[in-house]
A and B are shown apart, each in its own frame.
Chain A
Amino acid sequence: MSEASANSQASNIASPGDYFNLLKPRVMSLVIFTAFVGMIAAPGNIHPALAAISLFAIAVGAGASGALNMWWDADIDAIMTRTAQRPVPTGRVPRAEAAAFGWFLSGLAVALLALASNYVAAGLLAFTIFFYVVIYSMWLKRATPQNIVIGGAAGALPPVVGWAAVSGSAPLEAWVLFAIIFLWTPPHFWALALFKQGDYERAGVPMMPVVKGAASTRRQIFAYSILLAVAGVLPTVIGMTGYLYLAAAAALGAYFIYAAWKVLRAADDDQRPAVHLFKFSILYLFALFAVIPIERWTGLHG
């Protein structure tokens, strides 16, 4: 707020694109997609334009929490090669600006969602932002190797928010979609942490491989992969989806376990299975969730 801040204001060379990058566009795309699937799966009638505006509000809320994460984690991001080029660590966007931008957009997003849909959805969006920024970024990330396990709840909430936007409530079915993303998060991020372990170690982030070692992390990845594969078929078990979904979930889940098995059995210096699992995990979530709207539109959801 003193001299340094005044100077950065006078020589601020940030472009609008730098601010857009604060929203973590790639994470946002997954949030938009999973929230959209929650909307499709939910019963209830909402005007398509209101649904689109609600989805936009959820996306902005997710982006805002990304900006707040970059504000809080600027010191960590500057050390890690994966994140060193983000707008705050490179100095293009002043840190305080990222905070103001994030808090302001959070307010706008929650207010817009409250107007366009209902207070249940808006409350859930506000809780998602709070959980990601305060519980995960500020507290858990630097405190415990269970950081991304518990913090994963924030990333798993968007389909529940989408569901609530359409139906005004968040019943068990919505939380099954939550459970899938929640159980997907640990193997996804621990696979990344295995081949980026040095980064996290230097930054002092207590990721599982840093604290408990690679061998323990690989066992836990495998255990979560089995839980994930089981959770993956639950939507059909509770009658929310049909047999096309069941077939896709079974095949994708089986391959996920296979990829996690390769990670478990890999030689200590061989990072390729972890890279492969990380990439496949992204495909897994997109493919699995894509089947839900496909079933709805073709009338196959039973």
Chain B
Amino acid sequence: MADEQPEEIDPIKQRDRRNLAIALGLGVFIVLVFAVTILKIGGSVVERSF
């Protein structure tokens, strides 16, 4: 298969770049859900007397 690839653009390299972008996207999603959770709970959560 590797022989059939065009020489200018390496598909393995492109795949790595796509994987990196997916990882960053998932990271952003995790951070956002965490931030939303904290913001929705509100600041007083740390003062709760469990």
Chain A residues within CB distance 8 Å of chain B: 10-16, 19, 47, 49-50, 53, 56, 108, 112, 115-116
Contacts and interface: CB of A to CB of B under 8 A. Distances in A.
19 contacts: A10-B1, A11-B5, A11-B11, A12-B11, A13-B9, A13-B11, A16-B17, A16-B20, A19-B18, A19-B21, A47-B39, A49-B35, A49-B39, A53-B32, A112-B32, A112-B33, A115-B33, A115-B36, A116-B32
Interface residues of B, number: 20
A116 B1 CA distance: 46
Contact of B14 (A14, A53, A108, A112): A14
A49 B42 CA distance: 12
Q: Does more than half of chain B's interface fall in helix, strand or loop, or is it mixed? A: helix
Contacts of B14: 12-15
B48 interface: no
B29 A112 contact: yes
B17 A15 contact: yes
B11 A10 contact: yes
Contacts of A14: 14, 18
Interface string B10-38: 01001101101100000001001101110
A54 to B, nearest CB: 9
Nearest to A117: B36
A20 to B, nearest CB: 9
Contacts of A116: 32, 36
B38 to A, nearest CB: 9
B4 A11 contact: yes
Given A15-B14, A15-B17, 19 more contacts: A10-B11, A11-B1, A11-B4, A11-B5, A12-B15, A13-B9, A16-B20, A16-B21, A19-B18, A47-B39, A53-B32, A53-B36, A108-B29, A112-B33, A112-B36, A115-B33, A115-B37, A115-B40, A116-B36
